[in-house]
Chains A and B, each alone.
Chain A
């Protein structure tokens, strides 16, 4: 898959805001960001209750995903352009879910809201209603890109375990990213044998992804073994979606899974091994 199949530029997006068959969906960590201004014509998706089951801790089911996209007016033939704040974390999480349910015609707006805003491009508070559709997911959840806890434990010292959190979260110094309260009760640390390659190293300051050459170099220098299967994780699975996009979509590694249970699950399991410290 070429880079153009995964990313579109802000220039491309600006020229295609009104193109038939192109739907812009905004997914933000801060779920109020859309309401204060968004790309003209874009539709809001709330990751907290639309991309996750409202009761169980899980992603939405195939049926929930179909109902969501039908309600948002996304058709099976539409090209979906995902973007959001915080360097596209949650847009990348949505991208991974789209791929999980087999919608191949999906791209990320490179740089997301940040680049768009720093460029001074147009934002609007107008909300455009899209006619409802009848969206059908192309397949059941594709577990070849999703890891569960038991296979994560089995992957210790066997696969690449890529912990994409910040070094202080990896070492156990803090439990959550530094813009969130440090209130979690589970144990700090990381999965033994994991290598720490923070998601942020894959992004430029303006939120765009680094070049493929720079990315290859970054992972190579950090000890990533391209001949092995990979599981990426973070705290709740959204930053690791960003890295999943890098490894699976941009660099084309074939066996890469996102562990969306991530540290909030692993760090709460009874009896599993945990390592503290920088690991280097």
Chain B
């Protein structure tokens, strides 16, 4: 079974961006990356889908599907969210500012 993947910017070997829909990005506060934030992926209806912890450089990553998503981050520096539309497979990026 897979454990939680390393939330670094590089994608795991074998990730096929012509087939997979990857949502990746960074949590920031005042321009600085926020590591250790709890990053929650909510689907188009606001339903929780997944949660990861951002890396020391604030990075996170989800394997999802085309659609409308909200990326919500909780951290000691505050909370914030970002809405994103993935129209098809590929790498979709999000920057979540928390305050």
Contacts and interface: CB of A to CB of B under 8 A. Distances in A.
A128 interface: no
Given A86-B51, A118-B76, A205-B74, A179 B65 contact: no
Nearest to A182: B63
Interface string B1-18: 111110000001001000
B95 interface: no
B51 to A, nearest CB: 6
B80 interface: no
Interface in A132-185: 166-168, 173-174, 176-182
Contact of A168 (B20, B36, B40, B65): B65
A38 to B, nearest CB: 14
B43 interface: yes
A179 B76 contact: no
Interface in A53-104: 85-87
Contacts of A198: 47-48
B41 interface: yes
Interface string B57-76: 00001111100000000111
B17 to A, nearest CB: 12
Contact of A167 (B47, B50, B63, B76): B47
B52 A174 contact: no
A179 B63 contact: yes
Contacts of A120: 76
A50 interface: no
A163 B53 CA distance: 25
Given A48-B3, A180-B2, A173 B65 contact: yes
Contacts of B23: 178
B94 to A, nearest CB: 13
Contacts of B76: 117-118, 120
B5 to A, nearest CB: 7
A55 B52 CA distance: 28
Q: Counting chain A CB atoms within 10 Å of each CB, which of B3, B15, B47, B76 scores highest?
A: B3
A30 interface: yes
A166 B47 contact: yes
A218 to B, nearest CB: 13
Contacts of A85: 4, 53
A166 B49 contact: yes
Nearest to B12: A181
B15 to A, nearest CB: 7
Nearest to A85: B53
Given A30-B4, A205-B74, A179 B41 contact: yes
B38 A118 contact: yes
Contacts of B43: 166-168
A179 B62 contact: yes
Nearest to A165: B49
Contacts of A168: 43, 49, 65
A208 interface: no
A42 B10 CA distance: 32
Given A30-B3, A86-B4, A168-B65, A177 B50 contact: yes
Q: Rank and list the top 9 A-B pairs by shortest CB-CB distance, nearest first.
A: A200-B48, A30-B4, A178-B50, A179-B50, A178-B64, A178-B62, A179-B52, A166-B49, A177-B50
9 contacts: A30-B3, A118-B74, A120-B76, A166-B47, A168-B49, A168-B65, A173-B65, A178-B63, A200-B47
